[in-house]
Chains A and B, each alone.
Chain A
Amino acid sequence: MHALAPTGVTMSRSEARDEDFASYMHARQPSLLRTAYLLTGDRHTAEDLVQTAFAKLYLSWDKVKDQGSIDGYVRRILVNENNSLWRRAWKRRESSTAELPDRPHHDEYDGGTGAELWDLVQTLPKKARAVVVLRYYEELSEAETAEALGISVGTVKSQASRALATLRDRAPQTLNPREEDR
């Protein structure tokens, strides 16, 4: 039951909630979409991933908002859902793209040798790739990365170390400045 003021402008609780959520979504969507793209390597899949993450956040909005941990929560959903997408390949066949505005893809970045490194990142196991994206794109600390992935700081360190070792082994010499790393 919602009591309207004489002017009729008083928002119901659900309307206020939606407005609050929409404001957050508007502010964070570009950033999350970019992270999702790096996690998935495909823009349409990234959009689907972000849509699912926001939907789950929407369902839990009141509680998460109360806890003051919205960014961490939605980032965790994003990563977990991506892993889940990989585990359940059928889900990738779900087409949510029809509901989204069509736009050209730019997945083939012609960045010279850098593109080779991007190609290699896409070959990493999903959890290692998530560590790489959070640490070296989002520039989260090891503790923040651990929180986002729900793993220990030690696991973050070991995953990052193994990911870098894998990239070194596979990368061309021009991208492999071993001496600088040490």
Chain B
Amino acid sequence: MPVAALLSITHRATGVFLTLGTVVLVYWLVAVARGPEAYAGLQETLGSWVGLICLFLWSFALFFHLCNGIRHLFWDAGYGFEMKTVDASAQAVLVATAILTAITWLLAFLYSGAQA
């Protein structure tokens, strides 16, 4: 499958996966509203191995969908349809996603150490 087609289906898949993530996002807000006990409980769940893997996948999905979404917005505005540009922007999306995900987890790791 060409990279462009792979990115197209991944855009939809990450969109659906991120929609599931909105449930956790809203529950995070609810936990803040409920108080320290509920918040600590949620932190424990999200800090477990399963929780961390889910958070990692959500961060990756978010950055991919965001970067590829910007690519789609350029297409909507009428730019970037040349085959060469389509391939180059696909590569750029993948690189940007990797960098943003890496920076996120590096910073998260540093913050968890600083505040533990």
Q: Do A and B come from one complex?
A: no
Residues of A within 8 A of B (CB): none
Residues of B within 8 A of A (CB): none
